[in-house]
Structure 1
Amino acid sequence: MNINRLVLGLFGIGIAAVFFVNAQGYPKAAAEMPLIYSVTVALLSAAMVCSELLRWRAASRQAIGESEGEAVAEPTLRPRYGAAAVVFALACGYVFAITTLGYLLSTALFMGLALAMIRTVSVRFAVIATVVLVAMVCVVFVQFLGLPVPLLPLAIS
């Protein structure tokens, strides 16, 4: 069982619950988006927790079914604390870069650098995910909610 995924899923459920409770005090129109997002995050986090528990259960059954003389080889992943620290620093820099580089350029740079650093997805998927994320945020926050998001760098705007 991947304890990190299990803890992350439980943390996601907790964060979603906090946002859900906070959104209850908003006016009805303003509460719709936070409620939708909090329920979505809670459901995805619950799915993550359930998948880890099912993997643990399947691994336990497999270990019980094998003979006592055979050792069960579990794949081990070494923690990459340095990569996590760099991605965290990139996220902090991303927050400040939005005001000067604009949302589009800073998001593309952040996602590209972060995904290259952690190397868990292919380049093709990273490009597709970045384009979809940028488009969805533009649709939701700029078009739907009408928020003044700086899309382009200050020199171009």
Structure 2
Amino acid sequence: MSRYDSSSHVYYRCQYHIVWTPKYRLKILNGNIGKELYKSIYVYSNMKNCRVVELNVQVDHVHLVVRLPPSLSISSYMGFVKGRTAIRLFNKFPYLRKKKLWGNHFWQRGYFVDSVGMNEEIIRRYVRHQDRVGKEEEARQMLLGLEN
């Protein structure tokens, strides 16, 4: 993979670390829902000529490192991905729509985004090993709870 991408008159490297959560941060992105979401993010990113560098779907949030072309804003990319994945998940798993909590909104309104610069490998490693980080954090929280 080249360090830079190019189009007709530009060389670019617009790479971002993005994190977003389901509504109410419900822990539902596991099993088949998580697998479908994982595939969908790749499909919809390719539709917008974006390249997924790292992707990790946790039970209550999504970590994504993605390269966007300079012609596409992060907000329009996120609106597209969150909107399309929500529609796809609601159609593929109709029981999700039956929960009165959703109100036809699968994702939380906002998201976190940070540009990836020189610390790319550190961020990619963090996203890749998010499972382990989450489990270590849960263990630490449990220990703290037991001490109190």
Calculate the TM-score normalised by the size of structure 1.
0.25
Structure that is richer in strand per residue? 2
Structure ID, larger Rg: 1
Normalising by the residue count of structure 2, what TM-score does the alignment of the two structures yield?
A: 0.27
Q: More relative contact order in 1 or in 2 (CA 8 Å, sep 6+)?
A: 2
